Structures are given as C-alpha cells and as structure tokens.
Structure 1
Amino acid sequence: MGNILIVDDHKRVRISLQMLLQDEFDTVNVLSNPKSLLRELQVNSYDIVLLDMNFSAGVNTGNEGLFWMNEILKYDPDLAVVLLTAYGDVELAVTAVKKGATDFVLKPWDNNKLISTLKSALSLRLSKKKIQKLETDKQDLTRELNQNKSEMIGRSTAMMNLRKLMQKVAVTDANVLVLGEHGTGKELIAREIHQQSQRSMKPMVSVDMGAMSESLFESELFGHAKGAFTDAREDRQGRFELASGGTIFLDEIGNLSLAMQAKLLSVLQNRQVIRLGDHQTRSIDIRLVCATNKNLQEMVAEGTFREDLLYRINTIQIEVPSLRDRISDVALLAEYFLMKYATKYDKRRLTYTDEAIDKLQNYPWPGNVRELQHAVEKAVILSEGDKITCEDFLLKQNGVRASNLPPQSFMDMEKQMILTAMERHEGNLTHMARELGVTRPTLYHKIRKYDL
C-alpha cells in the first residue's frame, strides 16, 4: 500500500490528511517543518511526499515548496512528490510538475480525487522501482554471462596477434566479419569483442543464420505484430530489437539466400526494422558482428552473395587461425578442458600421460578447438584411474572416425554419407545438400548434431 510523508505547517491540515489516508497506505507520517525533511527521508523509507508549497507566515509565492521539492528529488530522483497548492498557485504548480513533481492537488481538496492522485503517484513510483530492479537484474545477468563465456585460451603468436587486433576493434562500433573454419571459436571471438566494448553491459544476441528457415527469417529477426500469421497471438520483438543498445551476432551468414540477404541489407542500411504485419518503423542501435566459414569473395563472384552486403558487414575482418596453425596451444587448451570436465564429472585427480599429450599435439584437428574439447570430455568419461592415456582418445583418421567395423546403425550410415559428401565438395553446403537430397538447414542441423 506504500508509505507517505505529509509535510505541512498547519496542524488541522496534517490531522485531517492523516485521518483520511491512514486506511489507504501502510504508513502515514507527518512533519510540520520541512527543515527536518531530509533527515526523515534518511531514517525512514517513503514512496510519496505530500508537500505544501508555502510554509513561512504571510508568504504565498510557492518558492519554498519548489525549493524543498528540488531537495527531495536530489536525494531520491524517483520519489513521488505531490504538491498541495492554493488555486492562485496553479501556474507555479504546473511549472513544478515540469521540473519533476509527480502531480499537484488544489486546496481545499476533494477527498476522492486526492486519494486517486496519491494512488496514481504510488503506482508510478512502484513501476519505476520495478523497472530499476529489472534493469539491475539484467545487468547482473549480462555480467555473469560475460564472465562465464570467456574461454580464449592460447599463447601462440597467432593468438597474441588476434588479441591485439580485437582490442583495437572492440572499442569502436565498427561492423566486424569473423572468418574461420568450423570449430575455431568464431562466436567466442564475437563475445570477446562485445565484452571489451562500451556496450558490454547491454545484451549480446546470437542468431544462428544457418539453422533459420526462410519462412521464419523476418519474424525471428525483425519481429511480428499480433495476427501477422496464424500463430502470431501477440506482438513480439525480433532479435534486432532485443539487441538494441548492445551487439547482434549473425553466425553462418554465408548460408543466407539472396532474398534473405536483401531484407537484411535494408535493415543494416537504415538501422530501422518493421515488424512483420506492422507498418511502424522502429529505430535500432546495434553493433554488428557476423561470422562464416565460407569464402564470401568467391560467393560474390559466383553470384550467391550480395557484394553490397559484404561491404556493409565487412568494415573490419578478423580471421581466426585453425588449431593446426597454432599447435603450440594444444597442450594449454587440453589442460583447460581437463580442468573443466574433471570438475564436472568429479574426477579432479586426473592428469595426462606424456604420450597422451604427444598424441594430441601430433593430430591435425580438422574439427579445431571444438573437436579437441569434445575429445577431452569423452576421454575424461572413459578414463580409468588417475591418468588419461592415448587409448582414451577416440580421434579421426584422415577426417573419418577410426574404426574397422562397418556402420552399425542408420545414424552411423547417415554420418558417413555426410562425411563423404563433405570431403567430395570441400564443405560446400549447397553442393552437399543437392547430392544428399536434403535442404541446407536440414544438412546444417545434422552437421551440428554429429559434430562434423
């Protein structure tokens, strides 16, 4: 019900107001002199201050009320201040509202109108507190997510150069294109750029473009209005609106069709979105980071990627080195993942044998850091005793899992077919999907599913 403080130098006014409001609010306290007002606010918590505009005998300018209103709002800008004023001071009271007062009430007041005004002021105060709490919780969650996502491990020259470039880029708002093979950690790079930017306390929204169907593209990215399509039961923000103020990360941008590219380009040029089924333009303030494992320059030459879109997303280009190009980081990464999964699976005494580390360093890692991470997790699960040995690592041979046994299930056969198509077409998803008779999003899902 809220707490209210009444500040008025007339005893009858204070008594009348206290009697009127005692059943409407949790706490109703009174002060006769505003000089003790700030001390009272420090001692007790209030939601509303009902403040008279005149206190000195014979003075009716209302300036005292304005002065104490300013002092209250300096102490707590979100405290609701409602002014009690005579009819002749209405113009001054309107000025006070413009300067921060919540509302004013004319003397003599109407009881119902006074209560209604104070209740509205309380509702506004509680709404502000709720918004502040949500914003604080959001910042705390963002900070926690940022802290937990940092896994940039490596001391190789390639990684040191990558960090230097990221530090230069992060402090700007320049659009960034991150290039690299599957499993090199492109999203991790995007997250590090966001964390080091001035937008770090705002959200980073990640969108997997490779898994997004064309029918859902506009709704997911730009939002939709209620009734825009059969299942649109309410208005919904798209990913761009959710990321406004922060960073949006478009992963696998090379997988977009030309039609989807055109719609994306329009939003990036205008920095405005129009929700599906709506006509209102909504401005967005985003930092754009994109990533792909494809050669976009070749795609431009082939006519499968728009050149103007490439220029728009490619202000700064960052190339993430493959793990085989920074083999000196393998042992360090292996130790990091061992610590992570040994804790997860309650095997904290685990260590590697020297032969196991040698095996890891002599392997080409076609799946890059992601493959190493999964290999270590599986080794931790399979290990017996306190040592991880060579035999605990089930690695590929020439890009195919080592096994002398034929496929034993449909999933094994499907996986083998994808691997064969991947080698034949050098990872070109369009050609692979055509050979296998599936759509590109379906193929992309299966590549993720089998960790290929």
Structure 2
Amino acid sequence: MTDAKILVVDDNKSVLSALEILLQFEYKSVQTLFNPNQISSFPNLKEVDIVLLDMNFSAGVNTGNEGLYWLNEIKKRSPDTSVIMMTAYGAVDLAVKALKQGASDFILKPWNNEKLLATVKSAHQLRKSRQEIHQLKNKEKELKQVINQDNSPIIGESTALQEVLNLVRKIARTDVNVLITGENGTGKELIARELHRLSDRKNEVFINVDMGSISDNLFESELFGHVKGSFTDAKEDRTGKFEAANLGTLFLDEIGNLSLQAQAKLLSAIQNKSIVKVGSNKPVEVDIRLICATNCNLDQMVDSGLFREDLLYRINTIHLEVPPLRNRNGDILILADFFLKKYSAKYNKPGLRINSMTQEKLMNYPWPGNIRELQHTLERAVILSEGDVLRPTDFLLNTRSGSSNDPGMRTLEEMEYEMIQKALEFNDGNYSAAAEQLGVSRQTLYNKIKKHKPAADNGK
C-alpha cells in the first residue's frame, strides 16, 4: 500500500463510492468531497498528494469551467499537489486547457480501472518529484548561504580604507569586472566578498579560486570542468568553477601567477562568456561577475611579456588598490582590539587587555605582513599570556622590519629608544627605577623620552 493522501471531489455519490473502494486498497488515505465549495476549508490541503476533480458540478452544464476554477483554487493553496481532471464529456481542447492550467492528467468517465490506477500512480510520482525538487532547491539555498558566510568583517575607520569602501559601494551593483591589488595580508578577499554582498548577486554563490595553487595541466579541468573519460583520471563528469559560479561571483585570487598559456584560455572564456569542458566540444554559457586579485604589478608584468595586455584590459574595468596596514595606522589598535576579543573568547582568557606601552609598540611597527601578521601576532600573544595585561614583551615582532633605513641595520637612536622601552617595561613603568637601571638621572630619562617622542609620533 502506497503512503499517499488522495482526495476525490465529485457531485455524484456513486462516483465517490466507486473511487473510494478502488483506491483504498492501493493508498493509505482516501477522502471524498461531495461539494466543491468544501475545498476552500479543507484542512491541510498541502499534505494531499493527489486530487481527482470533476469538471462539472451544476446540472446541465458541461463546459468544464467549474472544474477549471477549482483547479486554480487548489493550485493557489497547494502548488505541488497533483490534480487529475475527470469528466464525462471528452474534448481535446478542454483537456489541453486543463493541462496548461496545471492539471497533471485527464480521465474520461466511465473509466477503465487499470488505466485510472496507472494515471493516479503517475500523478503520485510527479508529486514526489516536485517535493524532491523543492527539497533540492532549499538545500541549494542553504549551501549557498553556508558558502557565502564570512565571519570576518571589514574593520577600520582610516581614510585610506574608507575611500576603498566608498568605491566598493559605488560599483557593487554593476557587473563590471574588478581587479583588486595590494600586498599580501591586506584583505583583498574581504573586499571581493563585500562586492558580492552588496551586489544583486548576493543570494547566489561566491566561488573563490586560488590560481596560484592550480597547475597548468589541471587549469582547464578546474576552471571549465571535464566529461567522463576525457583523460585517465576522469572517472566522472566534473563541474568547473566557472559553471559552479553561474549567476554568482567568481573570485580569481593570485591571477598574476597564471602562465601565458592559461591566460589565453581564461581570456577566451571571459570574452565568449562561455566555457568548453575538457573532452567536449559543446560550449556552455556562463553568467558570472568576475573579480580578480593579485599582489603583483601587472603593468610591469605586461612590459616584461609575462602577462597579456588584452587580458589585463578585460579584468580591470575597475581597479581597487587595498592600502597596506602601515598606511592605516589609525586602524591598528582597532584591529588589535578586535583580534584580542576574538582570541580571548576562543582560548577562554577573559579580561585580557593591552597596556599603553604595548599599544605604542604596535603602532610603531610597520607590519610588513599587514592584517594577517597582526592577527597571528595577537593570537600568539593571547595563547602565551600569563596575566591580565599583554605587555610589549608578549609580542614577538620582526625588529629587522622596524627600521626606516636599511632593514639589516638600526640607528643608535632606535637602539637607545628600545633600551628605554625595555627598562620601563621591566620596572612596570616606574621612571625612577628605570633611570637607575639605565644609569642616568630621572630628568635625563625624561629628556631622552621627549627627544624620541616626535619620531614615534611620526610613525603613527
């Protein structure tokens, strides 16, 4: 017995009885209605799998309009329910009209029992297919939300960052290709995700591809896909990143790492707005928003013959330059506080704070690794911390990168300032004790700090 709910609507009680007897041995639930007006108040109509609906209910009327009216009412309330129309007056044009308005099939009275059961079975399969399609669509929607989920917000109030974000807001709702450049660790992917989030494609997928990790021999398979048997390891069809990103955003990171051969294939796909899978000769149209990113100077690469000029023109309709952290000095402490709270919660160390001397050390460091380096530095400091306060000594920074001159050398002034800082840290900010340790008077210490203060301020 099939687990399905069937509703029969007919003004002939003999028809209702005959169908109920026939169907009750095949389906778990069979209900009947003598008056079609009861359809409007029928409980849980969406749970009904199949409705067998008469087309004429008024005496002497055989136009089928009544049945078509109730067909539309059922479809309004339960679009996935399969509706089989029944009539004693067979007409091809009426059957076509019913099918166009959403009926699953058409049965003539008197019916053949075997044919009716086969029709009902087909209608039930159609109902299950519709339910499966809806489930797949809901899963697809949930997967897109998971894929697009990005818990890393863009943090900062500096003018340099706000200028970039203002441009992002201006171009987000267009479909122009965007090239994002900037040093490693500046947050180029976050900018790309923000473009997607603010675009008309925000409910579609955001696909991120690290071009630097794809070898030349796998380039076409990864980006365009392949068909089964197209090469030795192609044991099944594969969807490429272009096709997977259809209707959404495709982010090609580290595009400067592509070989000239791969660049030519990429250019063709962008120009034609279609791809051809490996092992196939059938073009597949794709509708994507293309965003590329690199830390390379593509103009110099063009001059050196390492990057195609025509590809560069294609991908940089709009160019966004993400500023390095050293040019966003006002954001360093904001970001440090964000990462401090994040990792304090993660490693169960509540109440951690950064003292003023540590803040000054963070502000004076050039952060060659940008936000990524700051993030890892804060995480390491939180993990290794033993008290409630993070001191300068808790932060292991690359001092070779801190010099404004030759990275392998430091000036006497820089070394003197570092000694003063260490003495103050060791003595918990006690100027008299620090001065005694350094072998100078308290006033001399004050004068030296005052001398170094302008240089430190200039780095902020």
- Superposition pairs for residues 143-222 of structure 1, below 5 Å? 143=145, 146=148, 148-222=150-224
Contact persistence 2:148–2:205 (CA under 8 A): no
Larger Rg: 2
Q: What's 1:7 paired with?
A: 9
- Superposition pairs for residues 242-281 of structure 1, below 5 Å? 242-281=244-283
Q: For residue 239 of structure 1, report the CA deviation from its aligned partner.
A: 0.9
Distance 2:107 2:307 in 1: 64
3-state secondary structure, aligned to 1:321: coil
Distance 1:363 1:319 in 2: 22
3-state secondary structure, aligned to 2:230: coil
Amino acid at match of 1:149: N
Q: What's 1:72 paired with?
A: 74
Deviates more, 1:298-307 or 1:105-114: 105-114
Q: What's 2:231 paired with?
A: 229
Distance 1:26 1:169 in 2: 57
Normalising by structure 1, we get a TM-score of 0.84
Overall identity of the aligned pairs, in %: 56
Do residues 321 (structure 1) and 323 (structure 2) align? yes
Deviates more, 1:35-44 or 1:220-229: 35-44
Contact persistence 2:377–2:395 (CA under 8 A): yes
User: What is the number of equivalent residue pairs in this alignment?
Assistant: 401
Q: For residue 141 of structure 1, report the CA deviation from its aligned partner.
A: 4.4
Q: For residue 246 of structure 1, report the CA deviation from its aligned partner.
A: 0.8
User: Unaligned 5+ residue runs, structure 1?
Assistant: 403-452
Structure-2 change in CA distance of 1:334 and 1:90 (3 Å): same
Q: What's 1:111 paired with?
A: 113
3-state secondary structure, aligned to 2:293: strand
Do residues 24 (structure 1) and 26 (structure 2) align? yes
Q: What's 1:298 paired with?
A: 300
Distance 1:41 1:285 in 2: 43
Distance 2:110 2:17 in 1: 14
Contact persistence 1:176–1:317 (CA under 8 A): yes
Distance 1:380 1:324 in 2: 23
Q: For residue 212 of structure 1, report the CA deviation from its aligned partner.
A: 0.4
Distance 1:287 1:392 in 2: 44
Q: What's 1:34 paired with?
A: 36
Amino acid at match of 1:396: N
Structure-2 change in CA distance of 1:66 and 1:157 (3 Å): same
Q: What's 1:358 paired with?
A: 360
User: Unaligned 5+ residue runs, structure 2?
Assistant: 408-460
Q: What's 1:310 paired with?
A: 312
3-state secondary structure, aligned to 2:279: coil
Normalising by structure 2, we get a TM-score of 0.83
Q: For residue 384 of structure 1, report the CA deviation from its aligned partner.
A: 0.8
Structure-2 change in CA distance of 1:340 and 1:146 (3 Å): farther
Distance 2:380 2:165 in 1: 30
Query: Considering only aligned residues, what root-mean-square deviation do their CA atoms show, in Å?
Result: 1.9
Contact persistence 2:210–2:252 (CA under 8 A): yes
Structure-2 change in CA distance of 1:133 and 1:368 (3 Å): same
Q: What's 2:62 paired with?
A: 60
Q: For residue 343 of structure 1, report the CA deviation from its aligned partner.
A: 1.1
Q: Deviations over 1:361-414 (max 9, x none)?
A: 1111111101111111111111112222222222223359x9xxxxxxxxxxxx
Q: For residue 341 of structure 1, report the CA deviation from its aligned partner.
A: 1.1
Q: Deviations over 1:260-296 (max 9, x none)?
A: 1111111111111221112222211111111011111
Distance 1:238 1:147 in 2: 21
Distance 2:114 2:272 in 1: 50
Q: Deviations over 1:215-250 (max 9, x none)?
A: 111111111111111222221211111111111100
Deviates more, 1:11-20 or 1:112-121: 112-121
Contact persistence 2:148–2:206 (CA under 8 A): no
Amino acid at match of 1:258: L
Runs of 4 or more, structure 1, over 4 Å off, are 41-44, 144-147
Contact persistence 1:149–1:188 (CA under 8 A): no
